[in-house]
Amino acid sequence: MRFMAAVCDAFFARHNRVTGIDLDVIPQHPSVREYLKMFRNNGSIRTLKTMGRKAMGYDRALRREVERQGLTVDDDPTIVAMDAAAMTFPDGSFDCVFSHSCFEHLSEPGDVIRHVARVLRPGGLAHVDAHLYTSDSGSHDVRIFSGRRESIPAWSHLRPQYRHLVQPNSYLNEIRLSQWRELFSQHWPGVTFRLRPEHDPAIQRALAPLRSDGELKEYEDEELLSVYLVAEWVKPASRSFLPI
């Protein structure tokens, strides 16, 4: 289970303290000792994925983006080994909780959403981007992300005749758009939602012929042609608020 909880008053100030949590060991420096520890705790696949991510410069790109916004963050953010569904931070510990492309990998997202409400201070902000399983790339097959999808028709993971072609790279909870909205609304009263649409014209064009052939009829256009659900919530300032 992967999750990042952050004191991200980057929304409100220039200097920020960040705390990240993860069940796995996350190396903060390129040392053999740290990667050996990660290998022993997390296994070879997660270790190789992390090394590849760092080698491709994702961390450096994120820092550059932060700097372009005129913001600064800790050089060495605190990384804590912790289960997002059972966080032990005190109530009201954070000004902001931020998560990108993690919630689709959680086995008990409702528990995580409830804990986020608890660890936020009154007036604090929660921002979650959930990659929708019903999007074309929702299977998390790396060939789709890298543009090597010649043998993977659109929405293969949702079409029984093509499902065997898909190779997910991680656990997926397969929660649909309406279910996400219900989960967030249950624990975050007043939560707002935005959808980030599919921008690939080829995928947009692929839906009409499938509809004509009677495929994917159990899915709405909205959930097939949206890649991310963005949930944002400001915790009520009232001290009487209790997470549901």
Give me the mean pLDDT over the 32-56 stretch.
Answer: 68
Average pLDDT, the chain: 84
Tokens of 139: 């299977």
* Contact status, residue 196 vs residue 226, Cβ threshold 8 Å: yes
The CA–CA distances, whole Å, from 188 to 68, 174, 212 equal 32, 21, 39
Tokens of 49: 């994925």
Which one is predicted more confidently, 131 or 30?
131
Among candidates 174, 190, 183, which has minimal Cα distance to 223?
174
Instruction: Please report the pLDDT score of residue 70 as a whole number.
Output: 59
Instruction: Please report the pLDDT score of residue 51 as a whole number.
Output: 66
Tokens of 138: 């929702």
Among candidates 120, 141, 4, 27, which has minimal Cα distance to 73?
4
pLDDT category of residue 9 using cuts at 50, 70 and 90: very low
Instruction: Please report the pLDDT score of residue 4 as a whole number.
Output: 40
**Predicted confidence (pLDDT) per residue in 183-226, tens digit:** 999 999 999 999 999 999 999 999 999 999 999 999 999 999 99
> How many whole angstroms separate alpha carbon 28 and alpha carbon 77?
9
Which element (helix H / strand E) includes 25? Answer: none
Q: Please state, for a pLDDT cut of 90, what percent of the chain lies above it.
A: 60
Pairing label, strands 72-73, 226-234:
unpaired
Instruction: Please report the pLDDT score of residue 53 as a whole number.
Output: 65
Question: Which residue shows structure tokens 């499938």?
Answer: 210
Structural domains for the chain: 2-23+82-234 (3.40.50), 24-75 (no CATH)
**Predicted confidence (pLDDT) per residue in 17-35, tens digit:** 788 888 765 666 666 677 6
Coil/strand/helix, residue 143: helix
